Amino acid sequence: MATAAVAGTGFIGPVHVEALRRAGVSVRGILGASPEESRRAADALGLAIAYGSYEDVLRDTAVDSVHLATPNKLHLSMATAALEAGKHVVCEKPLAMTSAETAQLVTLAQRHPQQAAAVNYNIRFYPLIHHARDLVQSGEIGQVYSVRGGYIQDWLLYDTDWNWRLLPEEGGDLRAIGDIGTHWMDLIHFITGLRAEQLVADLGILIPIRKMPRKAVATFKGKEQHAEPVEYDPVKIRTEDWGSVLFRYASGARGAMSVSQATAGRKNRLDFEIAGSKSTLAWNSERPNELWVGHRDRPNEIVMKDPSLMSEGGRAIAGQPGGHAEGFSDTFKQLFRTFYDYIAAGNFNAPRPYPTFEDGHQEAVLCERILASQREGRWVEVQS
């Protein structure tokens, strides 16, 4: 099995470390924003090496793969350097800041066919999502007529909530759409194969001025720190808290997505409803072990995550028997297992079973078209 190194010590880097270990991949070390931060994280996670620099990671011949859990603006240079150093790469989403950058990475990955390059669209790896995909692909729900849903959070509800993603220079011009809407769009594509041909968007900045704490706050941690006295500077916000997008797909199907990072009580909820000519599928990430199947002429059903009740695809990525809930961290484990099994099999001509750089590029294109629609106030075409 390959050996990995992880770059990034914020919210998601440690999730990678834990999931890699559970997938049977050994993790050699971690890189933080400073040598002290690398040391702190290595100690906390029980890792042998606290890297002093990214060059040290890439020079480490014992490392086969690099996981990038760093801020978005670093993805292009770090993924490029990793591929050029001969490493496999798992990059957090979004793959890069613009579609010009993601296109560059797609070309580079194609020039390194013996290396695996994935974008961490982890939500695909809930067992019931693979099951839903198999149901749609086998024609079980009929022709897909429409999709709707979204991704809703509350961690940026207050004007005192702060994160680097709020700044376009750090996270990209689109925030809620880029950070969470892309998960939804990727998922719908993964399950149904639908590609948007046209879209129209309406984006909103609900909290126009936010208070930036003078001390950095880790993702989601602001919610736990409101009791402490903090010094703030006011900042004018230029990225959206809210977004709605309508899609017209090539097949004639229609779609509607809403995203928000300022909806009290919705902690981290992706939901979809995929309506076909025979039945409808509905799922949400706060109850990920249940898939609702709606019928017109007989009672509706709820499929529980249970290997004995799911399709082959769902079964393959279920880690526990029915009744034993699986969640967010398990999706990382299953995505990484799929990625590393692919590498171990050594047949790089086989179709890639994980979200690829092409998928990351597709999302970057969609984000730019959404921004264009918002700026121009009209329906726009989507070309990849």
Q: Which residues bind ligand SOE (CB under 6 A)?
A: 11, 153, 179-180, 183, 219, 268
Smallest gap from residue 123 Cβ to ligand SOE (A): 7
Least distance (Å) between residue 14 CB and ligand SOE: 13
Q: Measured from the CB of residue 382, what is the shortest distance to ligand SOE in angstroms?
A: 22
Query: Which of helix, strand or coil describes residue 56?
Result: helix
Report CA 121 to chain centroid distance, whole Å. 4
Establish how many alpha carbons lie within 13 A of residue 357's alpha carbon, considering only the half-sphere containing its beta carbon.
28
Angle (CA) 50-35-6 rounded to 5° is: 45
Cβ distance to ligand SOE smaller for residue 122 or 280: 122
For the CB of residue 99, give the shortest distance to ligand SOE in the complex, in Å: 19
Read off the amino acid at residue 288. Answer: P
In the bound state with ligand SOE, the residue whose beta carbon lies nearer, of 21 and 221, is 221
**For residues 175 and 337, which CB has a smaller minimum distance to ligand SOE in the complex?**
175
**13 within 8 A of 219, measured Cβ to Cβ:** no
Q: For residue 128, what are its two tokens?
A: 């019931």
By C-beta, is 244 or 268 nearer to ligand SOE? 268
Could you give the CA distance from residue 309 to residue 212 in angstroms, rounded to a whole number? Answer: 49
Backbone angles phi, psi at 87, to 5 degrees: -95, 150
Is the CB of 131 or the CB of 183 nearer to ligand SOE?
183
Helices (H) and strands (E) in the chain, counts: 12, 17
Give 222 or 276: the residue with its C-beta nearer to ligand SOE.
222
**What is the Cα–Cα distance from 37 to 50, expressed in whole angstroms?**
9
| CB of residue 338 to ligand SOE, shortest distance in Å | 18
What are the backbone dihedrals phi and psi of residue 373, each rounded to the nearest 5 degrees, phi first?
-65, -45
Q: How far is the CB of 107 from ligand SOE (least distance, A)?
A: 25
Question: Residue 368 and residue 361: Cα distance in Å, rounded?
Answer: 11
